[in-house]
Amino acid sequence: FVGNSTYLDDHGPPPQKVLPFPSQVVYNRVGKCGSRTVVLLLRILSEKHGFNLVTSDIHNKTRLTKNEQMELIKNISTAEQPYLFTRHVHFLNFSRFGGDQPVYINIIRDPVNRFLSNYFFRRFGDWRGEQNHMIRTPSMRQEERYLDINVCILENYPECSNPRLFYIIPYFCGQHPRCREPGEWALERAKLNVNENFLLVGILEELEDVLLLLERFLPHYFKDVLSIYKNPEHRKLGNLTVTVKKTVPSPEAIQVLYQRMRYEYEFYYYVKEQFHLLKRKFGLKSHIRKPRPRPEFFIPSPLETEEPIDDEEEDDEKWLEDIYKR
């Protein structure tokens, strides 16, 4: 005690780094939902704003044993703050293992579009390298690589049926084994986590609005993100991550997918509704469209949510810029 008071008398309190709040952010990115575009932006932003971007080379292990969860949480929690950790991993409950719960963010997209993007990406990669897909899936047999998407869906191949199609919800439900079973339990738990642990879950179809809100909520991490995203140099980079050789399944095949993915759609519509409420709260317009009927009753145009690289219509650009200047 005495020694300590002498130190303080002589030197004053040791200098402390003033951290922004929140100083712990996790982006447990959902596969094929624009996350490569966002990570490109984060690399630029981390240098610009001086936060610690912690990425992972593990892309195909989303479900962890209890020991793996503890190990990963320990590693993340000891990272230098402020940090933003990103990895394809199902929701981790830090408080379950005695850690401080970080703030979560994420982005999802129309489930059929996500599935199609992944289906063709696994086979043919993207424009970053024609041989990319061979490196990514070297053991895939030629007949599987060139398997017609309609055959895969209508003949119920494992890749095009449950549980493989139950993909987005587990990222929000978590590591519990039941989170991988398509059903109400996982759906409700995912919704609860969105409400309690996620600062923002955006939708890829409205990426510019997602970026605007991230900038508003997390300025230490995302200040100027929209101007970087709209920069022509960044657009060029983004174009490299567009999946190639996509084809559109038949209406019949799409209807089958919708039936199989009904829980995914219920979750997607829930998140979309919450996102639109948030946008309204902060004065962002949404396009006025007639509300679509539920998936059982309509055929979508499945490729309408291409990775959002191309410019929007001019009117959209105008109001987004006006908001950005405020």
Say if strands 24-27 and 52-55 run parallel, antiparallel, or are unpaired.
Answer: unpaired
Owning domain of residue 155: 24-284
Q: What is the pTM of this model?
A: 0.81
CA proximity to 53, closest of 22, 21, 73, 26: 26
Say if residue 133's pLDDT is above 60.
no
Q: Does residue 77 lie in a domain region?
A: yes
Query: Higher-confidence residue: 152 or 314?
Result: 152
Q: What is the CATH number of the domain that holds 203?
A: 3.40.50.300
Q: For residue 188, what pLDDT is reported?
A: 98
Please tell me which residue in 49, 59, 88, 90 is annotated as part of the active site. 88
The yes-or-no answer on residue 276 being catalytic is no
Q: Does residue 256 lie in a domain region?
A: yes
pLDDT band at 289 (very low <50, low <70, confident <90, very high): low
Say if residue 294's pLDDT is above 50.
no
- φ, ψ of residue 80 to 5 degrees: the values are -65, 130
Q: Which residues are 198's β-sheet partners?
A: 104
Q: How many angstroms separate the CA atoms of 70 and 66, rounded?
A: 6
* Total tally of structural domains belonging to the chain: 1
Query: Higher-confidence residue: 209 or 121?
Result: 209
Q: Does residue 107 lie in a domain region?
A: yes
Query: Read out DSSP for 279-306?
Result: HHHTT------PPPPPGGG----TTTT-
Q: What number is the average pLDDT over the span 155-177?
A: 95
Query: Higher-confidence residue: 196 or 133?
Result: 196
Q: What number is the average pLDDT over the span 189-205?
A: 97
Dump pLDDT digits (tens) for 23-77: 999 999 999 999 989 999 999 999 999 999 999 988 889 999 999 999 999 999 9
Q: What number is the average pLDDT over the span 295-319?
A: 38
Say if residue 89's pLDDT is above 60.
yes
Say if residue 316's pLDDT is above 50.
no
- Work out whether the CA dihedral 256, 260, 263, 264 comes out positive or negative: negative
Q: For residue 123, what pLDDT is reported?
A: 86
Q: Which residues contact 238 (CB under 8 A, 6 or more apart)?
A: 37, 40, 307, 309
Q: What number is the average pLDDT over the span 162-180?
A: 96
pLDDT band at 318 (very low <50, low <70, confident <90, very high): very low
Q: Does residue 265 lie in a domain region?
A: yes
Q: What number is the average pLDDT over the span 315-325?
A: 35
Q: Does residue 325 lie in a domain region?
A: no
Q: Does residue 306 lie in a domain region?
A: no
Q: What number is the average pLDDT over the span 197-205?
A: 97
Q: For residue 305, what pLDDT is reported?
A: 41
Percentage of the chain with pLDDT > 70?
75
The top-scoring range by mean pLDDT among 5-19, 129-143, 158-172 is 158-172
Q: For residue 244, what pLDDT is reported?
A: 57
Q: Does residue 317 lie in a domain region?
A: no
Q: How many angstroms separate the CA atoms of 201 and 27, rounded?
A: 10
Q: For residue 39, what pLDDT is reported?
A: 95
Q: Does residue 246 lie in a domain region?
A: yes
Q: How many angstroms separate the CA atoms of 26 and 104, rounded?
A: 5
State the CB neighbour count (10 A cutoff) for residue 322.
Answer: 9
